[in-house]
Chains A and B, each alone.
Chain A
Amino acid sequence: MLRERYLNLIILAILVIIPLWAWVSDEPFTITLVTRAVILALAGVGLNLALGQGGLVSFGHAAYFGIGGYAMGILASHAQNYDPIIEVPFLIEGTNSMPIIWLVAVIAGALSALVIGALSLRTTGVYFIMVTLAFGQMLYYFAISWPAYGGEDGLSIYVRNQFPGVNTLDPMQFFVVCFVILCVVLFLVDRINKSPFGLALDGAHQQEERVQTVGINVYRLRLVAFVISGAITALAGALFADLNRFVSPVMFSWHFSGEIIVFIILGGVARLFGPVVGACLFILLEHILGDLSDYWHIYLGAILLFVVLFAKGGILGFLSKKEVPHAG
């Protein structure tokens, strides 16, 4: 366990050193690339709580990513047009304050995960995968056909939103904001994994009947995990929208749901830093292999196959020589 902890610290260090180096040598593109990796990692950390710890294979987490993105897009577009969102019965105006946008994104993500989770958690196994996928697709087509916020074309936001005391348009400063959020969320998720809640969630993943027999309502347990998971992924969505200053229905697409799953499998299912490693590797491959060929996903597929067949605990499991991570 100690070894994996060291590995995690090394990963965090790399995530700091690369942008610092890029900052010193004036390579803003690299900083943006790492920022992207950090945000995608955050989305993966969200899904990992449900998929890894809870064993709930959600194939529709793009829904929360998209909801977080649109929370940002809607609030910021109203703010930049000086056009209130609603006037009756009371006035709600748009905003370009990041903390408020994050809060709205987290709440919207949690509420939608509550509704979607309450329905999908009545099923298990492959049906659960399909039901979550179906909800994701519903939101995708809804976003496409909703003209008020750009429909298929999406929404452009011209200025990055504000965070008190930070120049968010500076790539390095925006990176620091995202990185700090990732660290805070990792810390919280680590605490959750080790808590009575995390123990019960993990236990229910291994042996559902056991957890019921000690008097714990497994459905409620999983629903709460699903809600936290959706909220984290929605927060990542809001940051991703801010990074690109653009939101579109693509954020809702099932390809993205699949990609987050790939991050987790690459890095190591149920491992705290699994999605972080996976997302970084994904961005790295996209950048390097994407230069060589438009069909770089073929190589990604080959690597994924290799990891699944030969490194069961993902890359982290392979490096730390420990197959099953459990709080303890």
Chain B
Amino acid sequence: MPDSVLHVEDIHKSFGALKASDGISLDLYPGEIHALIGPNGAGKSTLIKQIAGGLKPDAGRVRFLGRDVTGLTTAQRAHAGLGRTFQISALAMQFTVLQNVVLGAVGQSGLVFRFFRNAMKDEALVSRAREALRRVGLAELENSITAELSHGQRRQLEVAVALTLSPKAFLMDEPMAGMGAEGSRVLTDFLQELKKEAPILLVEHDMDAVFALADRISVLVYGKIIATGSVDQIRADAQVREAYLGEEEEEAL
């Protein structure tokens, strides 16, 4: 096994009596898409927040590229190379599409405290931003106001902003949500390409997408990972079927 890019080690997090993370460990290896699935309230979002920063685990650590990042802020983790997209689009809605991506390029450049240079006329920032837009297929919309985009386009824009950071790993929270079948397929193809650059930890509800995309799947139930394995292993796992996939989805398998 190669060294893991992202290593979550025995994470615990409780809110009162609720154990949202109850000893979670998982690894993300180079070149893979590792999908995290689980029913609502399983603690997926809590886990994502602890990996991305913004929520501190009660116990356990998060290692990224061999470095302990448990005590770092969201911004510091982003700088270390963790690219994140959100379940509910976290974009500056009144900005144009290009401005949102340039903001990503500003963060990547580390040159935020430049007061007298026009950001939207800075060749390095803008070309980096345009390249990211082109890759996700939003190049033509660069002058649109973000609030006017469809849900699917916002998802693409989220990915584009993450791309400007040239991350070493992606953390994607339901990137397919709200997308049509066509958009979903385009993004699926794109993520297959993207994982060669940097591995992706993917939280996703869309089972078709998960089974089509994931190299490995971890199933989270009540704050515990009950199974990790390949698509076939997860499909065959009796515990998983019982706990999560249930009757109605059995047909889909």
Report which A residues bind B (CB closer than 8 A): 188, 191-192, 194-200, 202-203, 206-207, 209-218, 221, 224, 324, 326-328
| From A194, A216, A327, contact of B107 by CB (8 A) | A216
Known A206-B93, A210-B90, A215-B75: A197·B114 in contact at CB below 8 Å: yes
Evaluate contact between B107 and A214: CB separation under 8 angstroms: yes
| From B53, B109, B113, B120, contact of A328 by CB (8 A) | B120
| From B93, B118, B120, contact of A207 by CB (8 A) | B93
| From B84, B99, B111, contact of A213 by CB (8 A) | B84
A212 proximity list for chain B (CB < 8 A): 53-54, 73-75, 78
Report which B residues bind A (CB closer than 8 A): 52-54, 73-76, 78-79, 84, 86, 90-96, 99-100, 102-104, 106-120, 122, 125, 161, 164-165
Main SS at interface, chain A: helix
A207 proximity list for chain B (CB < 8 A): 90-93
Evaluate contact between B116 and A192: CB separation under 8 angstroms: yes
Q: Which residue of A lies closest to B84 (CB)?
A: A213
Question: What total of A-B pairs shows CB separation below 8 Å?
Answer: 119
| From A196, A206, A211, A214, contact of B122 by CB (8 A) | A196
C-alpha gap A221/B75 in the complex (Å): 12
Q: Which residue of B lies closest to A194 (CB)?
A: B118
Evaluate contact between A214 and B99: CB separation under 8 angstroms: no
| From A196, A209, A324, A328, contact of B106 by CB (8 A) | A196
**Shortest distance from the beta carbon of B46 to any chain A beta carbon, whole Å:** 16
Evaluate contact between B90 and A200: CB separation under 8 angstroms: no
Known A199-B102, A326-B99: A215·B110 in contact at CB below 8 Å: yes
A326 proximity list for chain B (CB < 8 A): 94-96, 99
CB<8 Å pairs between A and B, sample of 19: A195-B117, A196-B109, A197-B114, A199-B99, A199-B106, A200-B107, A203-B99, A206-B93, A206-B95, A207-B92, A211-B107, A213-B86, A214-B103, A214-B161, A215-B75, A217-B75, A326-B94, A328-B99, A328-B120
**Shortest distance from the beta carbon of B8 to any chain A beta carbon, whole Å:** 19
Evaluate contact between B120 and A324: CB separation under 8 angstroms: no
Evaluate contact between A215 and B103: CB separation under 8 angstroms: no
Evaluate contact between B164 and A214: CB separation under 8 angstroms: yes
Evaluate contact between B90 and A215: CB separation under 8 angstroms: no
Evaluate contact between B113 and A199: CB separation under 8 angstroms: no
**Shortest distance from the beta carbon of A269 to any chain B beta carbon, whole Å:** 13
Known: A191-B116, A192-B115. 8 other contacts (CB 8 A): A194-B120, A196-B106, A196-B114, A203-B99, A207-B91, A213-B86, A214-B104, A215-B108
C-alpha gap A203/B54 in the complex (Å): 18
C-alpha gap A79/B74 in the complex (Å): 51
Known A195-B114, A195-B115, A326-B94: A210·B75 in contact at CB below 8 Å: no
A206 proximity list for chain B (CB < 8 A): 92-95
Known A214-B104, A215-B78: A203·B95 in contact at CB below 8 Å: yes
**Shortest distance from the beta carbon of A163 to any chain B beta carbon, whole Å:** 26
**Shortest distance from the beta carbon of A199 to any chain B beta carbon, whole Å:** 5
C-alpha gap A192/B74 in the complex (Å): 25
**Shortest distance from the beta carbon of B100 to any chain A beta carbon, whole Å:** 8
C-alpha gap A202/B146 in the complex (Å): 14
Q: Which residue of A lies closest to B80 (CB)?
A: A215
Q: Which residue of A lies closest to B125 (CB)?
A: A196
A211 proximity list for chain B (CB < 8 A): 103, 107
Evaluate contact between A195 and B118: CB separation under 8 angstroms: yes
B109 proximity list for chain A (CB < 8 A): 196
Known A210-B90, A213-B52, A214-B161: A196·B78 in contact at CB below 8 Å: no
C-alpha gap A36/B96 in the complex (Å): 38
C-alpha gap A325/B78 in the complex (Å): 29
